[in-house]
């Protein structure tokens, strides 16, 4: 009988209003990456530099939603990924960018691009290529359905490894106390 290897799961990852810290932490699984690539292949991701998300089994997204492009990318992931994972504090509750939410957006832009003398005095940027900022920063689950959440700022490589392994094995991901962190 011919031995058939199970199909590799296709994974896409991206960072929206995030700092790529969760992606750096993902790389912290170190040599376990070799085990992972036996099981998965990457679609859109900083690892592959593919620009658009194709049909995938799993999408992993860090960062919240702070502008129109974030909404577009998030929706593209939702349409194409069977399972969508929000990773890190910003994806879960907006995180650091969301700390502008109690401020008026115009006041923020005014402060940074006009009032503050040490910064460029070119005025508030208005190039049509720039994505429009949203009034508030939103966590992912307020825009699309999210299937799983992995908290942490960032979650450790060990937490990510545990989470992904649970998922690949068909278990609901759970983190033991030592891997459970919101900070």
Partner 1 sequence: MNQAQSFTLDGADVPYRPGQTIIQAALAAGRYIPHLCYHPEFKPHGSCKLCTVKVDGRDMAACTTPAAPGIAVESDTQEINDQRRMLVQMLFVEGNHFCPSCEQSGNCMLQAVAYDLGVMSPRFSHLYPSRPVDASHPEILLDFDRCILCELCIRASAEVDRKSVFALSGRGITKRLIVNAASGRLADTNLAASDKATQVCPVGVILRKGGAFAVPIGKRKYDLKPISARALEDAPRPPGARHG
Q: Does 177 bind partner 1 (CB under 8 A)?
A: yes
Query: Quick one: DSSP state of residue 64?
Result: B
Q: Does 151 bind partner 1 (CB under 8 A)?
A: yes
Q: Does 124 bind partner 1 (CB under 8 A)?
A: no
Q: Does 63 bind partner 1 (CB under 8 A)?
A: no
Structure tokens at 65: 């939603």
Q: Applying CB under 8 A, what is the total number of residues that bind partner 1?
A: 30
> Which one among 36, 89, 160, 164 touches partner 1, defined by CB under 8 A?
89
Q: Does 83 bind partner 1 (CB under 8 A)?
A: no
- Collapsing DSSP states into helix, strand and coil, what is residue 50? coil
Q: Does 95 bind partner 1 (CB under 8 A)?
A: yes
Residues that bind partner 1 (CB under 8 A): 86, 89, 92-96, 98-99, 101-102, 136, 138-139, 141-142, 146, 148-151, 153, 173-175, 177, 180-183
């Amino acid at each position: 009988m011919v031995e058939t290897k199970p199909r590799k799961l296709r994974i896409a990852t991206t960072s929206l209003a995030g700092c790529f810290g969760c992606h750096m932490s993902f790389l912290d699984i170190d040599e376990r990456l070799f085990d992972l690539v036996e099981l998965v292949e990457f679609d859109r991701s900083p690892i592959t530099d593919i620009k658009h998300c194709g049909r995938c089994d799993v999408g992993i997204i860090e960062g919240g939603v702070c502008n129109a492009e974030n909404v577009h990318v998030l929706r593209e992931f939702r349409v194409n990924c069977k399972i969508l994972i929000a990773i890190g504090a910003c994806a879960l509750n907006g995180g650091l960018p969301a700390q502008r939410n109690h401020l008026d957006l115009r006041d923020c832009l005014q402060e940074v691009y006009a009032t503050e003398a040490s910064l460029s005095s070119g005025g508030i940027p208005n190039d049509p290529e720039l994505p429009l900022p949203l009034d508030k920063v939103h966590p992912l689950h307020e825009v699309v359905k999210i299937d799983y959440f992995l908290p942490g700022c960032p979650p450790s490589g060990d937490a990510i490894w545990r989470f992904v392994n649970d998922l690949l094995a068909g278990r609901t991901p759970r983190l033991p106390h030592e891997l459970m962190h919101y900070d």
